[in-house]
Amino acid sequence: MAFGITNAGWRNRNNWGTMRNGLYSVHVDLLDGRTGKGSGVVVFRDGKILGGDAYLFYIGSYTVEGSVFKGELQVNQHTRSVDVNPLFGGQNQPVGIGVSGTFTETGGTMTGTALVGKASQIFTATLRKLADAD
């Protein structure tokens, strides 16, 4: 996979807890003076991330230590629209994203940086657990 994404183990090294496998809603807000929002769903399962929305899909991996997770994603646009400009869409090439955040039994928060073309977009996102994915 591109961007050095690997299938790193998802259990933390110190057995302080694990991020629960599940389907989560994700709600993204751009930071750094930019405006933009996005929403979709994402599955966190055994160190892998899969998700998407009406225009984008994302794949990647994550690791967990304690209640903190870190991950890398690749975002691709699957549907084009003349009326809508997705947050990380409109690119001919995949967009690489690095994220880190914290989690609880019911959700989490994360921040990340996306390299969109030659510009970085900093964002924050909230996760809400919708269903187990064991």
Q: Mind listing the pLDDT tens digit for each residue in 53-103?
A: 998 999 999 999 988 999 999 999 898 877 877 787 677 788 999 999 999
The structure's pTM equals 0.81
What CATH number is associated with residue 76? Answer: 2.40.128.380
Long-range contacts at 76-80 (CB < 8 A, ≥ 24 apart): 78/52, 79/54, 79/55, 80/55
Q: How many domains does the chain have?
A: 1
Q: Mind listing the pLDDT tens digit for each residue in 101-117?
A: 999 889 999 999 999 88
What is the Cα–Cα distance from 94 to 83, expressed in whole angstroms?
21
Q: Which domain holds residue 43?
A: 2-132
